[in-house]
Structure 1
Amino acid sequence: MSGLDMKRANPDEFSPPNYDEEPLTTSVDWTKEEEGRAKRKLDLLLMPLLVLGFFCLQLDRGNIANAITDNFMKDVGINQNQFNVGQQMLSLGIVLFEIPSNMILYRVGPGKWLTLQLFLFGTVSTFQAFQKGYGAFIATRFLLGITESGFIPGGLWTLSTWYTRKETAKRVMVFYFGNQFGSASSKLIAYGILHMRGVAGRSGWFWLFFIMGLFTIVSGMVLGFLLPDSFKNPHSTFLPKYSYFNERELHILRARVLLDDPMKGKKKKRIGRAGFKKAFLNWRLWVHFLISLANNGPQRAFDTYSPTIINSFGFASLSANALASVGLFLQIPTSYAFSFVSDHFNKRGPTVMAGFSCHLLGYIFNRIFTELKGRRGVKYFGVIITQTFGTFSHPLNIAWMSLACEDSEERALAMTMAIMGGNIAGIYGAQIFRQDDKPKYRRAFSINIAILVVGLCLACSRYIDDLFRRRRASKQVRSGSASDSQYEEKTDAALPSDVQPAPVVLAGGATPLVSKTVP
Structure 2
Amino acid sequence: MTSVPYSQHVPSDPPASLDEKSFVGDESSATPSPNNGSVISELTWTDAEERAVVRKIDFVVLPLLFFGFYVFQLERGNISNALTDGFLKSVGITQDQFNTGQALLYLGIILLEIPSNYMLQLVGPRIWISFQVLAFGLVGTLQAFQKGYGGYLATRIMLGVTECGYIPGALFIISTFYKRSELATRNAIFFIGNGLASATTGLLAYGILPLGARYPHLKGWQYLMIIEGCMAMFIAILLIMLLPASPHIPKPLILPIRLWTPRQEEILLARMVKDDEVNKKSNHRLAIKDITGTLSNWRVWPHVLIAICLISQTGALGTYGPTLIKGFNFDTLTANALSSVAGWIGLVTTASFGFFSDRTRIRGPVVVTGLALVWAFWVAFQQKSLSTDRWLKYGLQIMVQGFSIPSHPINATWLSLNCRSPQERSVAMALFIMAANSGALVGSQLLRGDDAPLYKRGFKVCLCLISLGFLVAILQHIQYRLSNRRIERRQQGQEESGEYVETVSKWRYTI
Please indicate, yes or no, whether the TM-score normalized by the shorter chain is above 0.5: yes
| Matched AA of 2:437 | N
* Superposition RMSD in Å: 2.5
The 5 Å alignment of 1:251-270 reads 251-268=266-283, 270=285
CA–CA separation in structure 2 for the residues paired with 1:67 and 1:119: 22
Q: Answer with 151-160 or 163-172: which moved more.
A: 163-172
Structure with higher Rg: it is: 1
- What is the CA distance between 1:144 and its match in structure 2? 0.7
Unmatched runs of 5 consecutive residues or more in structure 1: 17-21, 485-519
AA aligned opposite 2:464: A
Instruction: Please tell me the residue identity of whatever aligns with 2:409.
Output: P
Instruction: Provide closer, same or farther for how the CA distance between residues 111 and 280 of structure 1 changes in structure 2, counting only shifts above 3 A.
Output: closer
Contact 1:307–1:321 at 8 Å: present in 2 too? Answer: yes
Partner of 2:195: 180
**How many angstroms does 1:473 deviate by?**
5.1
Which of 166, 170, 182 is matched with 2:185 structurally?
A: 170
Q: Which amino acid aligns with 2:147?
A: K
Moved more, 38-47 or 163-172: 163-172
2:209 corresponds to 1:194: yes
Alignment of 1:20-99 (within 5 A): 23-24=29-30, 27-99=42-114
Equivalent residue for 2:302? Answer: 287
Using the TM superposition, name which of 335-344 and 86-95 deviates more.
335-344
Secondary structure of the residue that 2:209 maps to in structure 1? Answer: helix
Mapping for residues 16-415 of structure 1, pairs under 5 Å: 23-24=29-30, 27-198=42-213, 199-239=215-255, 241-268=256-283, 270-372=285-387, 374-415=388-429
Is 1:460 aligned with 2:460?
no
Counterpart of 1:174, as a letter, is I
Measure, in 1, the Cα distance between the counterparts of 2:223 and 2:9. Answer: 50
C-alpha spacing 1:246/1:347, structure 2 compared with 1 (3 Å) = closer
**Deviations along 1:30-69, whole A, 9 cap, x unmatched?**
2222222122122111111111111111111100000000
3-state DSSP of counterpart to 1:404: coil
Contact 2:117/2:426 (<8 A) preserved: no
The 1-side partners of 2:199 and 2:403 are apart by 13
1:320-374, Cα deviation, whole Å (9 max, x unpaired): 01111112101111122222222222321111111112212232222211222x2
- Contact 1:114–1:151, Cα closer than 8 Å, also in 2: yes
1:273 Cα deviation after fit: 4.7
User: Does the 8 A contact of 1:91 with 1:145 survive in 2?
Assistant: yes
Deviation at 1:468, TM superposition (A): 2.0
Shift of 1:102: 2.1
* Partners of 2:208 and 2:224 within 8 A in 1: yes
- CA separation of 1:224 and 1:323: change in aligned 2, threshold 3 A: same
Asked if 2 retains the 8 angstrom alpha-carbon contact of 1:228 and 1:234, the reply is yes
Distance 2:292 2:165 in 1: 24
- Cα distance in 2 between the residues matched to 1:406 and 1:229: 22
> How big is the shift at 1:212?
0.8
Range that drifts further, 175-184 or 472-481: 472-481
The one-letter code matched in structure 2 to 1:38 is V
The amino acid of 2:143's aligned partner reads: Q
Give 1:9 deviation, angstroms. Answer: 8.7
Q: Distance in 2 between matches of 1:40 and 1:270?
A: 29
In the alignment, is the contact (CA less than 8 A) between 1:335 and 1:392 conserved in 2?
yes
Q: Mark the CA change 1:470 to 1:104 in structure 2 (over 3 Å): closer, same or farther.
A: closer
Q: TM-score, normalised by structure 1?
A: 0.85
Amino acid at match of 1:297: S
Pair 1:215–1:276, CA change in 2 (3 A)? closer
What residue in structure 2 maps to residue 488 of structure 1?
none
Range that drifts further, 356-365 or 199-208: 356-365
Aligned 8 A contact 1:23 1:262 in 2: no
Does the Cα contact within 8 Å between 2:106 and 2:437 map onto a contact in 1? yes
Given that 2:122 and 2:285 are in contact with CA atoms closer than 8 Å, whether structure 1 keeps it comes out as no
Contact 1:433 1:441 survives alignment (8 Å): yes
Conserved in 1, the CA contact under 8 Å of 2:66 and 2:191? yes
Within 5 Å, give how 1:438-517 maps onto structure 2: 438-472=452-486
Cα displacement (A) at 1:408: 3.6
The answer for unaligned runs of 5 or more in structure 2 is 11-27, 32-40, 499-511
Which one-letter code corresponds to 1:213 in the other structure? G
Question: Residues 169 and 355 (structure 1 numbering): CA distance in 2 closer, same or farther, change over 3 Å?
Answer: same
How has the CA–CA distance of structure 1 residues 15 and 449 changed in structure 2, closer, same or farther, with 3 Å as cutoff?
farther
Tell me the number of residue pairs that the alignment of Structure 1 and Structure 2 aligns.
471
Correspondence for 1:509: none
TM-score w.r.t. structure 2 length? 0.86
